[in-house]
Amino acid sequence: MPKRVILLIIDSLMYPALEKAVSEGVAPAFQFFMEKGAVYPNVVTAFPTMSVTVDSSLLTGTYADIHRVPGLVWFHDEEKRLINYGSHVRELWKLGLLRALDDVVYRLNNEHLSQSIATIHEELAAKGKESASINALLYRGNTDHPLRLPALLTLFKPFRSCRKTKGTCLFTYGSFARLGPSNQNGHFWQKYGFNNRFSAQELVHLIRADRLPPFTIVYFPDMDKIVHKHGPMDTKGIAQTDKQLQAILHCYPSWEEALYDKCWIIMGDNGQAPIRADRKKALIDLRQLLRSYKIMALKCGVKEDDEIVLAVNERMAFIYTLNLHRVSLAKLAETLRQDGRIDVIAWLEKDAAHVISGVRSGKLTFRPNGVQTDEYGQRWDVQGDLGVLDLTASGGRISYGDYPDALARLYSSLTSHRGTFLIVSAAPGFEFIGEGSPTHVGGASHGALHRHDSLVPMIVARTDSAPKHLRVIDLKEWMLSLLEGETMQEIRESDV
């Protein structure tokens, strides 16, 4: 029997809440996997800490400077329009709902995700190995699949023709493309199948039909909304997700038999930071802070006299200047620095990143390929006030504090797409708003560079092997090595 790897991605799964849920006895399936394997509480995710960018990094093993999916919301410099994969219906409606749907349903995978880097699915297909993608936002593979659009969408001209997308051999994308014919969890009131129960039932179908390929990735989206509303320590979402994990384990005569020839990897995609309950203090209104500039209106698109475009990703934002001669990045940065809720403000000049903060004094500049080395073996030239990014240096070695892998993640974001822009990241307790942005006052939010947003847990059952570094971008190479059989001999037979 070929060895198989099953990767379960639980949106907004965080270790402190998981530990609490297990101790309270409401997560027996999570507890089973944790006891049968290794638990890594602090895996560094991608930046911005938004699912589309994280999933792109997971599939390609690169940050956004290579895979080219900068965030949930970003400005397309060539097309002169804001791309929004689904922040809030208010923003999507103003930008044009049909265009936004086309971006997320089709263009994200087939156009925006760079063709210059292969996904794990494409690499496996090139080696003659099948893979499955169940409800993952990023899924690009080598197999053409028709997208069966809901009847309502086919009333509109852009969606009347049959759209084909490049996906995995075995492919589920909500009710747009499903594997299990009896899966009844894909109605429009169930988010067209983008829910935990639908995801679990698709995996159950593969298991019971004995169709599991060497690699399967399954995305569970529901917990994100629960954490947004109730905060990072709420365990309701974990308990609900655990029930779906139990349904998967119950496919086998015993839970232990689920481990027989499979490596199970269960992980979060991003963390979430708590947001203060006082609305006036919690929300950083970029329109108000930058009111002296002409900001592009979402409904109107770019007009001749517009100076700035805002792309808000909850606790992070890109701020674009449309005319560098009229609006300098350095001047914008100094304006934003006056707000003590913004802890990272960064921009690029030639090949150097410049960083200041509304929380810490001083200025930091850095560029790659210097003589200083960080804990991941990456080389940097860092000058200025290290405290701006909570860095420490000793003997030419750089260590990270509140901003894990800050230099690589920030630099990759600054070079992730064309345009002249600032990056701003909010301190814990706060989030940005623009025109129509979602808000999570009294709950939790993500997107930022801070460790609250950036660290996720990972449970690995059925192998003693581990990735080179505990970062999302290091998982692809490691999972490929498992599938190549280079480390599977380390499986502990005593665990079964």
Neighbouring residues of 16: CB distance < 8 A, sequence distance ≥ 6: 232, 233
Q: What digits encode the pLDDT tens for the residues 65-80?
A: 999 999 999 999 999 9
What's the per-residue H, E or C state across the chain? Answer: CCCEEEEEEECCCCHHHHHHHHHCCCCHHHHHHHHHEEEEEEEECCCCCCHHHHHHHHHHCCCHHHHCCCCCEEEECCCCEEEECCCCHHHHHHHCHHHHHHHHHHHHHHHHCCCCCCCHHHHHHHCCCCEEEECCCCCCCCEEEEECCCCCHHHCHHHCCCEEEEECCEEEECECCCCCCCCCCCCHHHHHHCCHHHHHHHHHHHHHCCCCCCEEEEEECCHHHHHHHHCCCCCHHHHHHHHHHHHHHCCCCCHHHHHCCEEEEEEECCCCEEECCCHHHHEEEHHHHCCCCCECCCCCCCCCCCCEEEEEECCEEEEEECCCCCCCHHHHHHHHHCCCCEEEEEEEECCEEEEECCCCCCCEEEEEEEEEEECCCCEEEEEECHHHHCEEEECCEEEECCCCCHHHHHHHHHCCCCCCEEEEEECCECEEECCCCCCCCCCEECCCCCHHHHEEEEEEECCCCCCCCCEHHHHHHHHHHHHCCCCHHHCCHHHC
Distance CA 386, CA 358 (A): 15
Predicted pLDDT of residue 333: 97
Predicted pLDDT of residue 96: 82
How confident is the model over 16-30, as a mean pLDDT? 98
Q: What digits encode the pLDDT tens for the residues 247-306?
A: 999 999 999 999 998 999 999 999 999 999 999 999 999 999 999 999 999 999 999 999
Q: Sign of dihedral through CA atoms 222, 232, 63, 216?
A: negative
Going along the chain from its start, the domains and CATH numbers come out as 4-69+113-273+451-495 (3.40.720.10), 279-442 (no CATH)
Q: What digits encode the pLDDT tens for the residues 323-375?
A: 877 889 999 999 999 999 999 999 999 999 999 999 999 999 999 999 999 99
Q: What digits encode the pLDDT tens for the residues 146-202?
A: 877 765 555 555 555 667 899 999 999 987 777 776 666 655 545 666 899 999 999
Predicted pLDDT of residue 190: 56
Question: Residue 486: pLDDT above 50?
Answer: no
Predicted pLDDT of residue 488: 38
And the tokens for 147? Answer: 């997208």
Q: Which whole-number Å values give the CA distances from 442 to 87, 172, 274, 278, 281, in the listed order?
A: 19, 35, 7, 7, 11
Predicted pLDDT of residue 489: 42
Predicted pLDDT of residue 178: 76
Q: What digits encode the pLDDT tens for the residues 34-65?
A: 999 999 999 999 999 999 999 999 999 999 99
Predicted pLDDT of residue 285: 98
Q: What digits encode the pLDDT tens for the residues 99-152?
A: 888 898 889 999 999 999 999 999 999 999 999 999 999 999 999 998 777 655
Predicted pLDDT of residue 344: 98
How confident is the model over 417-429, as a mean pLDDT? 97
